[in-house]
């Protein structure tokens, strides 16, 4: 698993200083060469080429602190709107002619609200 640098990605934040520096983490699918890796990116990022130079990648360091809370993933920005990836649909309900879904979000724990 690696973090991907956001320095070449356009941000919707007011200044670059407030933007996240690293995106991910993402699994490595294949080592292309000594300087390039093919990453498994979210399906919403199909317009982004999945091969990156090693200067844009940082290995994920696991926490050695037990029971440490992991922050939820940042939303994916698609056409100026925030989106999160759904892991699975748990339930659905029809209320006043609208279909509502209870979903499990990818990257969030079960006890998150």
40-70: per-residue pLDDT in tens? 988 887 888 999 999 999 998 877 777 766 6
Average predicted confidence (pLDDT) for the chain: 81
pLDDT at 9: 79
Are the C-beta atoms of residues 73 and 107 closer than 8 Å to each other?
yes
Domain extent listing, the chain: 1-62+77-82, 83-113
**CA 25, 59, 77: angle at the middle one, nearest 5?**
25
64-112: per-residue pLDDT in tens? 777 766 666 666 666 666 777 788 888 888 888 888 888 888 777 666 5
User: Strands, E, within 34-113: which ranges?
Assistant: 36-39, 51-53, 57-59, 76-78, 81-83, 86-95, 98-105
**Does domain 1-62+77-82 fall into CATH 2.60.60?**
no
Q: Is the dihedral of CA 29, 2, 49, 89 positive or negative?
A: positive
Name the pTM for this structure: 0.55
Q: pLDDT confidence of 31, banded at 50, 70, 90?
A: very high
């Amino acid at each position: 698993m690696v973090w991907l640098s956001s320095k070449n990605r356009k941000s919707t934040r007011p200044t670059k200083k407030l933007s996240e520096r690293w995106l991910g983490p993402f699994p490595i699918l294949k080592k292309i060469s000594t300087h390039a890796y093919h990453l498994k990116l979210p399906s919403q990022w199909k317009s982004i080429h999945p091969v990156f130079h090693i200067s844009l990648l940082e290995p994920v360091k696991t926490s050695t602190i037990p029971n440490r809370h992991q922050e939820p993933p940042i939303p994916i920005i698609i056409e100026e709107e925030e989106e999160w990836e759904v892991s699975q649909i748990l339930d659905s309900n029809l209320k006043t002619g609208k279909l509502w879904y209870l979903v499990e979000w990818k990257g969030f724990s079960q006890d998150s609200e």
